[in-house]
């Protein structure tokens, strides 16, 4: 890896009817953690966008995308992106969402310029990622489970175990519409994760829809393959909740913070150098003490969850 770069975005929407309390504080809480991992807090290496700042640091849609372009532009860098603010959904214009909606993040000027949908985020952050880079992302917002459309998703079940749903694996196809028999090394029937698979034109799935008992976790997620197959980028994203959930704006120890941002930082402070699996499970456990949201971990390429978090 070459140098480290970070982009931190916190939006409270001050004065609006959708005002939040803890998002700007989330960003500022993230700075000491990043510095402890070797990031440098100067403008050449760490950019902060917040709605108490002005000029290019004011988090309009234009400034957010420009800052994302800056983040991923140099090869051989270790990159970190943190977003704390509103997440939303807009009608799916592409047709690859079983729900009919795409996830979004919400810039401060969303009323005039709209929201930034998951496809746009993927193109700016993942497709444009320079060679030799790795990108870690923490999204603390509603509907964030697949907010940048990464193809591999890891989820905890009710026992705290983790499984991978690989929606880009070639060779898996619907062998019989009546029996739903599948070819390949992933058994849908055994895991009870999915009800229906829609075959793509080239044996890829257009979408994947889950069913199961209401108490099971991770249900209702949607996955992406046809749009982004073959990119194989090293992007790792922790998100505060599933696509169908909201992410809490919390008051903890007398201060306003986002629940996911708080849980992520508390976990790394308490346990030190965790693996990706341990960080996911401990963050999930900490949130479960107070909130219903279920954190997600998604990645751009297959990876070993037991390797330590390396920024």
Helix axes 259-271, 23-36, angle to 10 degrees: 20
Q: What confidence score (pLDDT) does residue 220 get?
A: 32
Cα separation, 187 vs 206, in Å, equals 18
Cα separation, 193 vs 216, in Å, equals 10
DSSP 137-154: EEEESTT-TTTT--SEEE
Is residue 70 in a domain?
Answer: yes
pLDDT band at 22 (very low <50, low <70, confident <90, very high): confident
Q: What confidence tens digit (pLDDT) does each residue in 291-309 have?
A: 777 788 888 887 888 899 9
Q: What confidence score (pLDDT) does residue 256 get?
A: 65
Q: What confidence score (pLDDT) does residue 30 get?
A: 95
Q: What confidence score (pLDDT) does residue 13 get?
A: 93
Q: 72: domain CATH number?
A: 3.40.50.12660
Q: Which of 23, 77, 82, 86 is catalytic?
A: 86
Q: What confidence tens digit (pLDDT) does each residue in 97-146 have?
A: 666 777 889 999 998 999 999 889 999 999 999 999 999 999 988 766 67
Cβ contact 153:297 at 8 Å: yes
Q: What are the backbone angles phi and psi of residue 164, rounded to the nearest 5°?
A: -110, 130
Does residue 143 have an active-site annotation? Answer: no
Is residue 65 in a domain?
Answer: yes
Cβ contact 217:158 at 8 Å: yes
Whether residue 44 is predicted with pLDDT greater than 70 in this model: the reply is yes
Domain that holds residue 220: 4-169+201-299
Q: What confidence tens digit (pLDDT) does each residue in 57-81 have?
A: 999 999 999 999 999 999 999 999 9
Is residue 291 in a domain?
Answer: yes
Of all residues in the chain, the percent with pLDDT exceeding 70 is: 67
Q: What confidence score (pLDDT) does residue 228 get?
A: 63
Who contacts 178 (Cβ-Cβ below 8 Å, separation ≥6)? none
**Residues forming beta bridges with residue 265, ordered by sequence position:** none
Q: What angle do CA 270, 5, 153 make, to 5 degrees?
A: 60
- CA–CA distance from 105 to each of 77, 110, 117, 290 (Å)? 25, 9, 7, 24
Is residue 292 in a domain?
Answer: yes
Q: How far is CA 231 from the centre of its chain?
A: 17
Question: If DSSP codes are grouped into helix, strand and coil, which group holds residue 236?
Answer: strand
Q: Minimal CA–CA distance to 309: which of 282, 276, 284, 260?
A: 276
Q: What angle do CA 269, 272, 275 make, to 5 degrees?
A: 120
What is the reported pTM?
A: 0.78
Q: What confidence score (pLDDT) does residue 299 get?
A: 86
pLDDT band at 265 (very low <50, low <70, confident <90, very high): very high
Q: What confidence score (pLDDT) does residue 120 get?
A: 92
Q: Minimal CA–CA distance to 218: which of 282, 149, 159, 172?
A: 159
Cα separation, 80 vs 257, in Å, equals 19
Does residue 136 have an active-site annotation? Answer: no
Q: What is the largest CA-CA distance in the chain?
A: 60
Q: What confidence score (pLDDT) does residue 129 get?
A: 97
What's the mean per-residue pLDDT of the chain?
75
Is residue 97 in a domain?
Answer: yes
Q: What confidence score (pLDDT) does residue 101 get?
A: 76
Q: What confidence tens digit (pLDDT) does each residue in 170-226 have?
A: 323 332 332 333 334 444 333 333 333 333 222 223 323 332 333 344 333 345 555
Question: Structural domain tally of the chain?
Answer: 1
Q: Which of 23, 77, 141, 142 is catalytic?
A: 142
Is residue 196 in a domain?
Answer: no
Half-sphere exposure of 165 (CA within 13 A, CB side): 32
Burial state string for 216-244 with b = 16 or more CB within 10 A and e = fewer than 16:
eebbebbbbbbbbeebebbbbbbbbbbbb
């Amino acid at each position: 890896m070459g140098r480290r770069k970070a982009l931190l975005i916190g939006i409270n929407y001050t004065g609006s009817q959708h005002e939040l309390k803890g998002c700007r504080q989330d960003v500022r809480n993230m700075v000491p953690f990043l510095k402890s991992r070797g990031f440098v807090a100067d403008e050449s290496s760490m950019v902060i966008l917040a709605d108490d700042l002005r000029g290019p640091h004011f988090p309009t849609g234009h400034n957010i995308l420009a800052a994302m372009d800056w983040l991923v532009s140099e090869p051989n860098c270790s990159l970190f992106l943190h977003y704390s603010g509103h997440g939303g959904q807009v009608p799916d214009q592409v047709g690859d969402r079983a729900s009919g909606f795409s996830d979004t993040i919400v810039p401060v000027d969303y009323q005039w310029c709209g929201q930034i949908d998951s496809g746009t985020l993927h193109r700016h952050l993942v497709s444009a990622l320079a060679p030799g880079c790795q990108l870690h992302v923490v999204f603390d917002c509603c509907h964030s489970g697949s907010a940048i459309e990464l193809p591999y998703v890891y989820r905890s079940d009710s026992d705290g175990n983790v499984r991978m749903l690989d929606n880009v694996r070639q060779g898996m196809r619907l062998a019989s519409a009546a029996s739903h028999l599948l070819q390949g090394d992933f058994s849908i029937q055994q895991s009870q994760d999915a009800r229906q698979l829609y075959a793509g034109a080239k044996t890829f799935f257009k979408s994947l829809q889950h069913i199961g008992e209401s108490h099971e976790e991770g249900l209702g997620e949607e996955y992406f393959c046809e749009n982004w197959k073959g990119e194989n980028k090293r992007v790792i994203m922790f998100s505060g909740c599933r696509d169908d959930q909201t992410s809490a704006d919390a008051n903890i120890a007398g201060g306003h913070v986002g629940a996911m941002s708080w849980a992520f930082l508390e976990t790394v402070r308490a346990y030190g150098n965790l693996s990706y699996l341990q960080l996911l499970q401990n963050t999930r456990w900490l949130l479960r003490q107070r909130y219903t949201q279920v954190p997600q971990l998604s990645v751009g390429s297959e990876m070993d969850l037991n390797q330590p978090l390396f920024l």
